[in-house]
Amino acid sequence: MNQRAAQEVSLAYQRSELMLWLSNILILISAIVTSAMIYLVMIRCTVQPETALTTAMRVLADGDTSVDIPETHSRDEIAEMIAAVKVFRVNAVARDRLELEREKHTAELDKKNKQLADELEIARQMQLSIFPPTTLTARSSNHSVKCLLHVSWAGISTTS
């Protein structure tokens, strides 16, 4: 019986070692799976939004304001960055709109200035045809003063 008991103890010991080895392998596998799941969640929650945000920022920096800015439902730093990039896009759209308006107004003012310059030249030519420049001599008690009358579109001025 001692021999049989020794064999049973030996067999039980081998089984317990096998079970310990299998449980260690299962613990290792579950640790690897858990780590992989945590890694995937971290990538999904952090890296992907950050990458999408970086791409959107580069496109926005190149002047394309039609870029889609990623959405997030979290309240972390990435959400704050996304909100800031949205403000940048709104400001870029407003800046582009104002630049177009400025160019339009500048073109209108240039056109009006040219029209005014043309009209002023016509008025000057008309005044010169009506009032040509003349020279008058005036006498005073001690000396004579020669005055040249200049007629321009602004009116008559004298120089001596």
Domain spans of the chain?
15-130
User: What is the Cα–Cα distance from 114 to 30, expressed in whole angstroms?
Assistant: 82
Mean of the pLDDT values across residues 75-95? 89
pLDDT in tens, 118-136: 999 999 898 888 887 664 4
Q: What is the pLDDT of residue 133?
A: 66
Return the DSSP state at 69.
P
- Please give the pLDDT value at position 135: 47
At residue 50, the pLDDT reads 85
pTM given for the model: 0.51
Compute φ and ψ for 159, nearest 5 degrees: -130, 145
How much of the chain exceeds pLDDT 90, in percent? 47
| C-alpha torsion sign, points 73, 78, 83, 87 | negative
Please report the pLDDT score of residue 46 as a whole number: 76
| pLDDT greater than 50 at residue 65 | yes
* The pair of three-digit structure tokens given for residue 136, joined into one six-digit string: 């008058």
Q: 20-51 as b/e, with b when 16 or more CB fall inside 10 Å?
A: eeeeeeeeeeeeeeeeeeeeeeeeeeeeebbe
Q: Is the pLDDT of residue 41 over 70?
A: yes
CB atoms within 10 A of CB 88: 16
Q: At what angle do helices 77-130 and 48-61 cross, to 10 degrees?
A: 10
